[in-house]
Chain A
C-alpha cells in the first residue's frame, strides 16, 4: 500500500517534470486559457453580431428569423446613416490630423531637458490618464450654454462682442468643432508619449554627426528624425484612428448626437438604435459598418510587423 502510493507519487512527479520540460506541450498549455477566453469573449460575440445583423432580433423577442440583408438595406436608406458616416469621417480625420501635428511638436519640446519636466509631463498626460467620461463631463461644463468660461474669457479679451454668446454644443458647426477639440485633447497625450519613446530611441550620435556635417535644425528634423520616427508615428496614428473611429464616449456625453443628428457618429447611433431603441438587429448592422476600417488598420499593423521582421 505504502509502496504503491510512493510509486504513484514518483510516477506523477515524473509525469509533471516531463510536462514542465516539454516545450511542445508547455507552450500550448500556457496559451490555451487566454486564447480560449478571447475566442469565447471576443470571437463568439463578434460572430453573434454578424448573425444578429441578418436577423430580426429585438430586446424583447425570443424568436429570431433570418431576414437576409434587410437590416443593412434599412440602414443604408436612412438619412441618419449618411450623416453619421460623414460625421464619423470628419470627426476622425480632422481630429487625428491635429493630433499628429500637435503630438510631434509636443514630443520634440519634451525631448529636451529642463527643470520641472516631471510636473509638465504629469499635467500633459492628465487627459489620457483620467477616466475619459469624467474628462468629457469637465468639458460639458466648460462648454455650458449659460456660464461657459470660454465665452466669458472671449468677452473679457474683446474677441467676442458683448452680446456674442455662442452655444458651443447647440449650433451644428460649433458642436462638431467642440467635440473634435475634446477628441484632440484626449488623444494628444497618448500620441505624444508614443512619439517621445521613438525620439529617445534615436541615438544622439546620428544627430551629432549630422550637425558636424553642417545640417541645421530643420534639415535634421526632416531628413533624420521624421524618417526614423515613421514606423512609431504610424503606430500612434493607427491607435488614434481606432480610438476615434470606434468610440462613442465624447459624442455620447457632450451632444448625444445632436443638435438634429449633426454630430451623430456610427458608434452612438448603434447605441441609440440597439440598446435604447431595443432594435438589436439594426444596432448590430450599424456597428458592423465600423468593421472595414478596423480591418484596414489591422492590415497596416500586419504589414508593419512583417517589414520590421525582415530588417
Chain B
C-alpha cells in the first residue's frame, strides 16, 4: 500500500466525527432549544409564519412565564411532584437497601434467580397494571389523592433500585466486612457500620434515579388524579394546558423547560454510576 496523505485523512476523520455529533445534537436537543425560544417570544411573534421563527423578531418577553405562575397551578404541581418524590424515595430506600444487600451477599442456587425475578418485575409496565390499580385505588378511597401515587410508585422504584443497589454492593469487596466481623461486629453491624458509609454514593445514585422515575411517570398519574390541584408536573402540563382549542404554547414550553433542565443536569452527574450498577447484573 502506498503512503497515504496522513494529514488529509485526519482532517476528514475529524470532520466526519464533528458532523455526526452535530447531527445528533440537532436531533436530540432541538426540542429543548425550541422550548427556550418559545418561552420568551411574544404571542404575535410565535404565530407569524412570514418571519424567521429561529430569531426574536420582537423583543423577548416574560409574559408567558407570568401566566404560568399566576394563572395556573404550576408551582403546586412542582411541589406535588417533589412531595411524592421524597415520600417514594424514602419508602424505596427502606425496602430496597436491605434487599439489595441481602441479594448481593447471599450464596446458594436461588440467590441469582431471585435477583433476576425481582428485576423482571420492573419490566411489568404500568399499562398492564393500571386497570386493576384504578379499582384498588377506588376501593381504598384514594382517588384524586397524592397518596395513591405514593402507594403505587414504589411498585417500579423498588425492583429497579434493589437491582441497582445489588450491583453496587457486589462491587464492594467482601473482605472489608470479614475484617470488621473479626473485630467483633455482627454481620448486620458490619453492613451498617462498614458497608453503608462506603456505599453512600451508590445509595445516592439510587435516590436520584428513583426520584427521576417518579417525575417521569405519566400513566398512573393520569388515571388516578383528576383535579388540577393534585397533578404532578408530568401530568399537569399536558392535561391542564392543552384544553379546548387554545394552546398556551409559550407558557407550556416554559413549564416543560423549567421541569426538565435541573433534572437533566443532576442526572448527567450520576449517569456513569447508574449504567455501571444497572448493567452489572445483566451482563456479568
Residues of A within 8 A of B (CB): 17, 19-23, 26-28, 30-31, 33-35, 37-38, 41-43, 45-46, 48-49, 52, 57, 59, 102, 105-106, 109-110, 112, 114, 118, 120-127, 129-142, 144, 146-147, 149, 152, 156, 185, 188-189, 193-194, 196-198, 231-232, 235, 242, 246-249, 252-253, 267, 270-271, 274-275, 280, 283-284, 287-288, 290-291, 294, 297-298, 301-302, 304-305, 308-309
Q: Which residue of B lies closest to A118 (CB)?
A: B268
| Contact A135 B31, beta carbon cutoff 8 Å | yes
| Contact B127 A46, beta carbon cutoff 8 Å | no
B155 located at the interface, meaning its Cβ lies under 8 Å from any Cβ of chain A in the complex: yes
A305-B118 Cα distance, complex, nearest whole Å: 14
Question: Shortest Cβ distance from B255 into chain A, in angstroms?
Answer: 7
Q: Which residue of B lies closest to A114 (CB)?
A: B17
| Contact A26 B237, beta carbon cutoff 8 Å | no
1/0 contact string of B230-259 vs chain A (CB within 8 Å): 000111011000100001010011011001
- CB-CB under 8 A from A129, the residues of chain B are 212, 260, 263-264, 267-268
Cross-interface CB contact of A26 among B102, B128, B252, B263, cutoff 8 Å: B102
| Contact A297 B123, beta carbon cutoff 8 Å | yes
Question: Shortest Cβ distance from B55 into chain A, in angstroms?
Answer: 12
| Contact A248 B132, beta carbon cutoff 8 Å | no
| Contact B34 A309, beta carbon cutoff 8 Å | no
- CB-CB under 8 A from A149, the residues of chain B are 34, 53-54
A28-B131 Cα distance, complex, nearest whole Å: 32
| Contact A141 B106, beta carbon cutoff 8 Å | no
B216 located at the interface, meaning its Cβ lies under 8 Å from any Cβ of chain A in the complex: yes
B47 located at the interface, meaning its Cβ lies under 8 Å from any Cβ of chain A in the complex: yes
List 16 interface pairs A-B (beta carbons < 8 Å), by A numbering: A26-B187, A41-B155, A109-B17, A122-B265, A126-B28, A127-B31, A142-B30, A146-B47, A185-B27, A189-B28, A232-B282, A271-B219, A274-B130, A294-B124, A304-B283, A305-B112
| Contact A280 B135, beta carbon cutoff 8 Å | yes
Which DSSP category, helix, strand, loop or mixed, fits chain B's interface?
helix
| Contact A31 B279, beta carbon cutoff 8 Å | no
Q: A52-B131, A247-B127 are in contact. Are A30 and B215 (CB under 8 A)?
A: no
Q: Which residue of B lies closest to A18 (CB)?
A: B186
A235-B55 Cα distance, complex, nearest whole Å: 42
Question: Shortest Cβ distance from B207 into chain A, in angstroms?
Answer: 15
Q: A109-B21, A249-B219, A274-B131 are in contact. Are A38 and B121 (CB under 8 A)?
A: yes
Q: Which residue of B lies closest to A147 (CB)?
A: B47
Q: A49-B132, A132-B218, A134-B260 are in contact. Are A27 and B106 (CB under 8 A)?
A: yes
| Contact A121 B268, beta carbon cutoff 8 Å | yes
Question: Shortest Cβ distance from A151 into chain B, in angstroms?
Answer: 9
Cross-interface CB contact of A126 among B29, B222, B247, cutoff 8 Å: B29
Within 8 A of A (CB), among B1-50: 17, 20-21, 24-25, 27-32, 34-35, 38, 46-47, 49
B205 located at the interface, meaning its Cβ lies under 8 Å from any Cβ of chain A in the complex: no
B60 located at the interface, meaning its Cβ lies under 8 Å from any Cβ of chain A in the complex: no
Q: A49-B131, A131-B216, A131-B260 are in contact. Are A17 and B186 (CB under 8 A)?
A: yes
